[in-house]
Structure formats: C-alpha cells, structure tokens
Amino acid sequence: MSIITLSAVQMADKLAAGEITSRELVQAHLDRIAEVDPKVNAFLHVNAEEALSVADEVDADRKAGKPLHRLAGVPIAVKDLIVTKGQPTTAGSKMLEGWVSPYDATVIEKIRAAKLPILGKTNLDEFAMGSSTEHSAYGPTRNPWDLDRIPGGSGGGSAAAVAAFEAPLALGTDTGGSIRQPGAVTGTVGAKPTYGGVSRYGAIAMASSLDQIGPVTRTVEDAALLQELIGGHDPKDSTSLPEALEGLAEAARTGGGGSLAGLRVGIVAELQGEGYQDGVEERFKEAVELLRGAGAEIVEVSCPNFVHALSAYYLIMPSEASSNLAKFDGVRYGQRRLPENPPVTIERVMSATRAHGFGPEVKRRIILGTYALSAGYYDAYYGSAQKVRTLIQRDFAAAFEKADVLVSPTAPTVAFELGSKLDDPLAMYLNDVATIPANMAGVPGISVPAGLSEGLPVGVQFLAPATEDARMYRAGAALEKLLEEKWGGPLLGKIQDLTAAPAGSAADAASNDAAGEH
C-alpha cells in the first residue's frame, strides 16, 4: 500500500533512484484499482495493457540512460471528457457510448511524449454538467472518505481516484469549478490554470469561454509540475496564450519553504458568510491565521458583483453548451437512434437520438441555453449576463490592486450524501458559488486541503491575476506546508482504509435517478 500513497514527485524520485521500476509502480496502481474501484467507481475504463507497455518503455529508456521527463513512468488518470486515441471517450454520456476518438487531445499528446502511463478514463457528470458526479450515465462515483457521499463534480472520478490512491495524478476540466470543488471535498489538490494557459484542443467543449483543463493531485508541487507539462501555446487552440506560463514548479517548491513576508492576501467579503457551513468557515479562518503567522499581510477586499456570478454563469454556460452540444446529432458522433415510427427523416433521427442519448441535466441546460439565446430574449438574458461578466472582471482588477492573491473557502459545504440534492438543481448549482468567479474572469485558482469538518475534507481556494499562476502555486504550497507541519503529515493520511470499508449504500437509488428521464 505504501508506494501508492506517495506524491507523484516522491514516486518520480524513487524511479530515478532505481528503487522501483515503472512497471512495478503501474502494476501497484492497477492492483489497487482492481481492489477498491468496485466500491468507488472512479474509472469508466482501465487500460492495463497500454499503461504497462509505456511503463516498460520508460524502464528500458532509463536503463539505456536516455533523458526522461521528471514525471516519466508515473501513472496518470484522465477525465473522460478529454479525447484519447485508442481508448473510449464517453463524456459520461450514453450519447458517446462505444465511441473511440480518432485523435489525441493536445494534453494527451504531451503526456504521451513525456511517457506517463495512462491508467484509464475517469467518471464525470454527463458532459461535465454537475457538482456531484451523480449525473453520469454510468452510475455515480463515491467519495473515498465516506462511500455514501458525493466526490464533487463534475470531475468526481479524477478526484476520487487520486484520493483513493488509485492514481497519483489526474487530469480534470474546470468550467465553473469541476476541478477545484471535487478537490475540496476529497482532500486533494485541484488547479484551474489561467484561461488559455493549457490547450483545450480535444477537451469536449461544455462552455468554450470558461473551460480549462488542469491538474488533480495530492500536493501543490505535483499540480504545478503537471500544469507545466500540459501547458503552453497550441496552434490548434486559438485561445491558448502565446507564451507558456513558467516557473510554476519552482514557485511551488520555494513557496513550500520560504516566509510569506510581503505577500498581500485578500479575503473576499462576498465569498463567506451565509450558505457556508460553520465547519468550513472555521477551517478557512484557521488557514488565514496560519498565513498571517507566516508573515502574509491579510487585507479585506470587496467584490460586490460576485453575488451575481452564479446567475450570470447559468445563462452564459448553458448558452454556449447548447451550441456546443448541437453536434451530437446521431449523424457525426456516437449513438444513433431511429424514430419508433416512420417516417425516418433526418430531423426525426436527430430528435430520437438526442432524446435517448442525453440525460435530464443536459437536456435542462440545452433548453435553458436555447431560450437565453433566442431572438427577443437575447439582450435580456445572454446580453445582461455578459455585462455582469465584465463587472466581475472589474471587481477582480480592483481586488488585485490591494492584494497579490485572494483566498476563500473552495466550496460552501463538505461532501453531501448521494441523492440528497439530485432533485433540486438550484441547490446543486450553489456548490460553485466560490469557484465560478474565476472562470468568468479567466483567472487561475487552486484548491488546497485545509483540514476536516465532521470527518470530511474542507478546501481553501487561492486566486491570482491572469498569467500569475506561479504566484497561486507559491501561496498554495506555503499553506500546504504550514498545515502539514500542524497535522504531522498530509491530510490524505487520515482517510479510511477502503479495503476494510463496507460498500456504500445510498448510491443505487441515485444512479437510477440520474439515468432515468425526469
């Protein structure tokens, strides 16, 4: 059990020192997946053969003295929204059941070039729409801390895999919080890079102006290293930044050691109070005191338009999603359904395919989006939401005059019970109140484990100005180190023994619900 609980950097060091081989490391993870994933359901697909053959290549290269990437041979899991040649990509939807991409996403090309064995594809809310992974067409993922609770969403599979020691590294996507909120509720680190910092080419688009691919890991340094690996300009993504963001891992390393003197940390007045659980606020306040103790200057900032971020997001995101999802029409990708009765016209095939292939949450958002974009309502809804977006960007600009980084709880609550919010979309949407502003402005954000409340993980979020990802990693690593000194080790050291844990119970009802038509 011990090798698989290490950080990716620690694993890489053992590989470099010849203490273990990549084959042993990959096999240990495959064994762990076989043992615990029937309980957790983090993976939709495992590709043992491919992972082991990449591991063998790395071991041979190392023997031959060839230069290798720092993370070469360390296995990784990939959210099943990111396309992979030769492995299925479902987006958590029946629509893409059985579909295999003919090409790799840019991030996957980079991971293959650096020779990280890809263990498989992880579960998610259908087309990344949700905060609990219960909207997957393939049954929910369970939180490894408590199998009757949700692992967050939409990237619950990646976060649960990392928390359950099934993979040391994973990729996620974050449109409104789907990397950071699962990180918070599973006690893992999740980072959303600056918009454009990582190519989106090959990430199935949800809302293109908000989506970013990012790392899910056990430590801040691992996240920084992984972002450096997958980041940089990509001619295939016209929104990718011209220059790679550099110095991220270095910032995480030095941030973990140095003092915080001179760092101005802004507490956002609007990202606390009503709606945030007491236990979450307590852990947050303790984290702020630790930062203060390490020399940071704590300042109060106000971002008055953040209170409208959620409403504006739920107009912009569905609008873009309704347009992005129009391509799933039964003609170009995945499933095709014929109408039950003739005539078999193209419109009726599309309609039958979409009625069958999409789950209730996806349909809800497509309807919301087409409504918000329809002639006569466009200005009132979509147009107003875009104005709010500009105001949020101005709030950030003003806040970053007073503070170098902003800090807040990542999610308002700890992990809730499976099934408890499935019938209440608005309650589900509220999980992202603290994470959405970053997507609206394109700024980077990271969630760092900040302790437990009621035995469940709480996350603290750092936000930095666009392209200042290194600053975010520095602050995140500093807090991580302060907390580990306090606890005497990483938070994941306190997670339950999954091999002994009885299988959870509440999820079956939830999975039927998610798959059924409302």
When asked if residue 178 is in the footprint of ligand GLN (CB under 6 A), the reply is: yes
The minimum distance between CB 377 and ligand GLN, in angstroms, equals 21
Among 175, 186, 188, 219, binds ligand GLN (CB under 6 A): 175
Q: Strand pairing partners for 456?
A: 453
Nearest to 79 by CA among 106, 39, 119: 119
Among 88, 176, 197, 357, binds ligand GLN (CB under 6 A): 176
Segment 301-330, which members bind ligand GLN (CB under 6 A)? 317
The minimum distance between CB 154 and ligand GLN, in angstroms, equals 4
- Pairing state between β 212-217 and 169-174: antiparallel
Convert residues 410-439 into a mask of x (bound to ligand GLN by CB under 6 A) and - (unbound): ----------------------x-------
Among 146, 174, 270, 480, binds ligand GLN (CB under 6 A): 174
Nearest to 245 by CA among 220, 225, 262: 225
Choice among 14, 79, 121, 481 that is catalytic: 79
Q: How far apart are CA 369 and CA 208, in angstroms?
A: 14
Which stretch, 169-177, 268-276, 292-300, 445-453, contacts ligand GLN (CB under 6 A)? 169-177
When asked if residue 206 is in the footprint of ligand GLN (CB under 6 A), the reply is: yes
When asked if residue 190 is in the footprint of ligand GLN (CB under 6 A), the reply is: no
DSSP per residue over 110-139, as a string? HHHHTT--EEEEE--SGGG--SSSTT-TT-
Nearest to 448 by CA among 256, 310, 316: 256
Look at residue 88 and give its three-state secondary structure: strand
Which stretch, 41-49, 163-171, 172-180, 448-456, contacts ligand GLN (CB under 6 A)? 172-180
Please, which residue, 139 or 156, has the CB nearer to ligand GLN? 156
Q: How far apart are CA 215 and CA 78, in angstroms?
A: 10
The minimum distance between CB 439 and ligand GLN, in angstroms, equals 7
Please, which residue, 174 or 480, has the CB nearer to ligand GLN? 174
Residue 421 annotated as catalytic:
no
CA distances from 435 to 75, 340, 407, 440 (A): 28, 43, 11, 9
Segment 116-155, which members bind ligand GLN (CB under 6 A)? 128-131, 153-154
Please, which residue, 87 or 431, has the CB nearer to ligand GLN? 431
CA distances from 298 to 254, 268, 285, 291, 440 (A): 21, 11, 11, 8, 25
The minimum distance between CB 173 and ligand GLN, in angstroms, equals 6
Q: How far apart are CA 460 and CA 474, in angstroms?
A: 14
Choice among 132, 154, 408, 447 that is catalytic: 154
Q: How far apart are CA 51 and CA 398, in angstroms?
A: 47
Binding residue count for ligand GLN, defined by CB under 6 A = 15
Residue 121 annotated as catalytic:
no
Convert residues 54-93 into a mask of x (bound to ligand GLN by CB under 6 A) and - (unbound): ----------------------------------------
Residue 178 annotated as catalytic:
yes
Size (the chain), residues: 518
- Ramachandran category for residue 73: left, alpha or beta (phi over 0 → left; psi -120 to 50 → alpha): left
In this structure, what token pair is assigned to residue 373? Answer: 């974009």
Choice among 101, 132, 178, 240 that is catalytic: 178
Please, which residue, 126 or 480, has the CB nearer to ligand GLN? 126
Nearest to 79 by CA among 138, 144, 159, 146: 159
Footprint of ligand GLN on this chain (CB under 6 A)?
128-131, 153-154, 173-178, 206, 317, 432
Enzyme catalytic residues = 79, 154, 178
